[in-house]
């Protein structure tokens, strides 16, 4: 494969700076929990159900503990104590606490050791559910086989999960390797996960555990019918990031959109809340060997793709550092970027090729997520189709791993089945016709592509130096990424962040961090 010469000392310095940035945030993470983390722990213990108003039991449980200013002990502490006091199981313990049949206080004779001991079987069962789902998925992939990279990734978004399942199978029939059900507009801002199957959603379909199950079943059927494994993805972001990660883990999803800063920048979710939630979500993801897709592509929707290219690369280094601290292996760390340079700019194709080659070389073991043009799409479907074709050509030339296919009707309406079929057909043609193009070419020494790659890398190390000096908290506040400014105490969800007490109990997190079976 063609290579651009890179100064690996600069690459190493970028990683060193990103590691320092992540370490600073990790010290904060290790001292805090959130309502989202604690609800996830409760879900992992098998606690389920809603009240007559549709409020999840895990929300009522955690909110009641939080209202008493005791969440810093951890929801597991109170569940374990209820077991020691006679509750027959964890579900009953949760109901006693949530519905007020048991008093929530910080006092009691029970020791931390006693609580951990009584929860031991519940922890083993929680991890076994995730492990069994992971093993089933990996066995199915091995039996049916996987398509070559780049994987063709398409979206469905009807609002009705049953229609989504039909469209998912149709996409697989047309050649899709990955199918994503777009999440309903603004679900990331809900501080609860809707329950059950849903048939209405604006701009997409709600991410729920039952919805995950329905689409997984449809794609399993398609995989068996077409003799190749078809992957499922959804969105683990927002105020319920870790809960969705857990549900995805037990329902055998293959990929999750999961970013360290996306919610902060693009959904105005408090940065303290986001950093703590993303760590726990990634611990679950790492255990389940789910591939994550990070969200650097979004930077180029708010900032210029030429001027801000280095911010994408800098963020990729930071996302990598955060993921490593949560135990995510490189082969499951799908760093994101996008084809968003103004197509009418002279040599825009060469600049896009340079950026894609740069990312591919710096992160050779990562399943890179490559996003299509959207910013400069118009109602001209013919030009849109050509624009996507240029994107596909770069993708196959630089051997991107996961390619979200562009749709020629992107700027007009939610893509129809025929739109998706034509996109898959065009992509298949280009992937076949130019399959070994990257192996046959060389880049001109000191040419446009090589020079551009060098400039972006040098600008990235300069930005990381500044972020490391100022701290990521202040850097985000001044708009270092995507030209978006957020403050330490601003945004949604800050009230759900709690400092851990000295006797904080979270045996599931402890097992995930320890890598225990």
Could you give the residue numbers annotated as active site? Answer: 262, 297, 369
**Dist. CA 93–CA 36, nearest whole Å:** 19
**Dist. CA 146–CA 140, nearest whole Å:** 10
**Dist. CA 72–CA 56, nearest whole Å:** 21
Looking at 234-368, list the stretches that DSSP marks H as alpha helix, in order from N- to C-terminal side: 241-250, 262-267, 271-288, 299-302, 309-325, 348-362
Is the separation of the CB atoms in 508 and 41 below 8 Å?
A: yes
10 Å Cβ neighbour count for 91?
Answer: 16
Is the separation of the CB atoms in 18 and 317 below 8 Å?
A: yes
149 phi and psi, to 5 degrees?
A: -75, 155
Contacts of 125-129 with CB under 8 Å at 24 or more apart are: 125/46, 126/44, 126/45, 126/46, 126/508, 127/287, 127/508, 127/511, 127/512, 127/516, 127/517, 129/44, 129/250
Ramachandran region, residue 262 (left: φ > 0; alpha: ψ -120 to 50; beta: rest) = alpha
What angle, 0 to 180 degrees and rounded to 10, lies between the N-to-C axes of helices 75-84 and 112-144?
110
**Dist. CA 236–CA 285, nearest whole Å:** 10
DSSP letter, residue 379: S
Is the separation of the CB atoms in 43 and 59 below 8 Å?
A: no
DSSP letter, residue 415: P
Considering just the CA atoms, what is the radius of gyration of the chain in Å?
23
Nearest of 366, 344, 358 to residue 459 by alpha carbon: 358
């Amino acid at each position: 494969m063609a290579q651009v010469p890179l100064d690996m000392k600069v690459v190493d310095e970028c990683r060193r700076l990103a590691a320092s940035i992540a370490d600073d945030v990790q010290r904060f993470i290790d001292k805090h929990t959130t309502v989202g983390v604690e609800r996830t722990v409760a879900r992992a213990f098998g606690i389920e159900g809603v009240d007559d108003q549709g409020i999840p039991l895990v929300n009522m449980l955690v909110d009641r503990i939080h209202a008493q200013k005791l969440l810093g002990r951890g929801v597991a502490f109170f569940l374990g104590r209820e077991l020691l006091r006679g509750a027959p199981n964890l579900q009953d313990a949760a109901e006693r606490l949530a519905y007020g049949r048991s008093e929530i206080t910080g006092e009691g004779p029970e020791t931390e050791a006693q609580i951990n001991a009584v929860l031991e079987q519940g922890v083993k069962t929680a991890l076994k559910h995730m492990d069994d789902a992971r093993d089933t998925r990996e066995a199915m992939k091995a039996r049916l086989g996987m398509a070559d990279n780049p994987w063709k990734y398409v979206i469905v978004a009807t609002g009705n999960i049953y229609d989504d399942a039909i469209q998912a199978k149709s996409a697989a029939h047309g050649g899709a390797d990955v199918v994503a059900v777009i999440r309903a507009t603004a679900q990331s801002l809900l501080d609860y996960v809707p329950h059950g199957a849903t048939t209405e959603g604006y701009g997409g379909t709600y991410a729920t555990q039952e919805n995950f199950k329905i689409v997984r079943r449809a794609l399993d059927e398609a995989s068996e019918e077409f003799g190749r494994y078809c992957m499922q993805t959804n969105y683990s972001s927002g105020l319920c990031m870790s809960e969705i990660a857990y549900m995805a883990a037990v329902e055998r999803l293959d990929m999750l959109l999961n970013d360290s800063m996306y919610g902060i920048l693009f959904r105005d979710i408090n940065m303290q809340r986001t950093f703590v939630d993303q760590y726990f979500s990634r611990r679950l993801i790492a255990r389940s060997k789910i591939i994550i897709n990070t969200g650097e592509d979004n930077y180029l929707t708010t900032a210029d793709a030429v001027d801000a290219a280095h911010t994408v690369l800098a963020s990729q280094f930071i996302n990598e550092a955060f993921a490593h601290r949560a135990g995510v292996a490189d082969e499951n760390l799908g760093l994101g970027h996008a084809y968003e340079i103004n197509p009418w700019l002279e040599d825009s194709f060469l600049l896009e090729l340079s950026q894609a080659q740069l990312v591919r070389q710096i992160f050779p073991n990562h399943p890179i997520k490559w996003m299509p043009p959207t910013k400069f799409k118009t109602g001209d479907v013919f030009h849109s189709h050509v624009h996507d074709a240029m994107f596909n050509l770069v993708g196959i030339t630089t051997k991107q791993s996961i390619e979200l296919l562009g749709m020629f009707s992107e700027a007009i309406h939610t893509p129809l089945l025929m739109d998706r079929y034509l996109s898959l057909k065009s992509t298949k043609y280009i992937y076949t016709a130019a399959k070994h193009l990257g192996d046959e070419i060389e880049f001109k020494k000191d040419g446009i592509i090589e020079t551009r790659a060098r400039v972006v890398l040098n600008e990235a190390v300069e930005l990381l130096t500044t972020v490391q000096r100022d701290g990521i908290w202040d850097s985000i506040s001044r708009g270092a990424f995507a030209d978006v400014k957020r403050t330490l105490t601003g945004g949604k969800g800050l009230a759900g962040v709690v400092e851990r007490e000295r006797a904080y109990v979270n045996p599931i997190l402890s097992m995930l961090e320890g890598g225990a079976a």
